[in-house]
Amino acid sequence: MNKLKIHVEKIVRPIRASDRSKMKMREELLGHLLAGHKEALSLGKNNPIDAAINQLGNTDRLRDELQASVSHLEQFCALRLKTNLEQSFKPSSKSDFTLALRASMEVVFFCALLLLLPALAVAILGNPSKEVSTYVPIIIIFASMGVAFLISTFAYRALHFPQITHPSSSASCYLKGVIETMNWLVMIGLFLTFIGILDHWIYPLTSDIPFPEVLLIVARQPILIFMPAISFLVTAYAAYVTRKQYMAWDNLEITE
């Protein structure tokens, strides 16, 4: 089974796609190879494992075909946010600071693109709260997240990551999970910004609202605090569980 898994991993690992898609490919290809192996055994073939692998076809060609089946949006997200992030943690001739700076700039740039949506809404619908510009807290949030990301990435590299992230070390998977969670923190910051903008719009409308609806306003503040906290905990846990699930594949040594 290990030889079949290694063959699957050789095909799937270099593909630019989300973890979910890659896991789907791994499970399906492994299931296929196992079924092929079973059939080759029943037919009394000499080397059933190699027979199953040969039947699957040329590795490079299959990888290209699988890559082509991944949507451009998914490839973009996987390449820019994840693969590049992982690349940033691999040994390189570039300085730790340069790599950390590049990774953090990319994440902030991607978030700035997402920010275009509420910015457009403000431009079209107007900003009801004239006292404070909506853009100031947004800029502060993103600048601080960028700095936090830069520091964490730099610190991670400085912590002798080549030893930590060696394929045979299970610790790497947990740490990768943590780093991915950092990535999600940025997304949650974005979510907070959305709520903040909505809050600016809703507030002037709520002053004359009668009792039952006023409860919504009272509930608003805890929601503002707890929603991101809950999403963070859920996301962090999900990242950890997912990473644990992928650990068996990530740790496979696929070099000849």
Tell me if 55 contacts another protein by CB under 8 A.
Answer: yes
Q: HSE, CB side, 13 Å, CA atoms: give it for residue 222.
A: 4
Tell me if 65 contacts another protein by CB under 8 A.
Answer: yes
Tell me if 62 contacts another protein by CB under 8 A.
Answer: yes
Site string for another protein, 131-160 (x = CB under 8 A): ------------------------------
Q: What share of the chain is helix, strand, coil (3-state, %, to 5)?
A: 80, 0, 20
Tell me if 32 contacts another protein by CB under 8 A.
Answer: yes
Tell me if 100 contacts another protein by CB under 8 A.
Answer: no
Tell me if 57 contacts another protein by CB under 8 A.
Answer: yes
Least spacing, CB of residue 83 vs another protein, in Å: 19
Cβ contact 204:114 at 8 Å = no
Nearer to another protein, 56 or 195 (CB): 56
Tell me if 68 contacts another protein by CB under 8 A.
Answer: yes
Alpha carbon distances (Å) from 62 to 2, 7, 9, 57: 20, 12, 12, 7
Cβ contact 241:19 at 8 Å = no
Cβ contact 184:235 at 8 Å = yes
Nearer to another protein, 25 or 197 (CB): 25
Tell me if 25 contacts another protein by CB under 8 A.
Answer: yes
Site string for another protein, 34-53 (x = CB under 8 A): xxx-----------------
Tell me if 58 contacts another protein by CB under 8 A.
Answer: yes
| Cα 247 from Cα 240, distance rounded (Å) | 10
Torsion of CA 211, 215, 217, 219, to 10 degrees: 170
Neighbours of 199 (CB within 10 A): 13
Residues lying near another protein in the complex (CB under 8 A) are found at 11, 24-32, 34-36, 55-58, 61-62, 65-66, 68-71
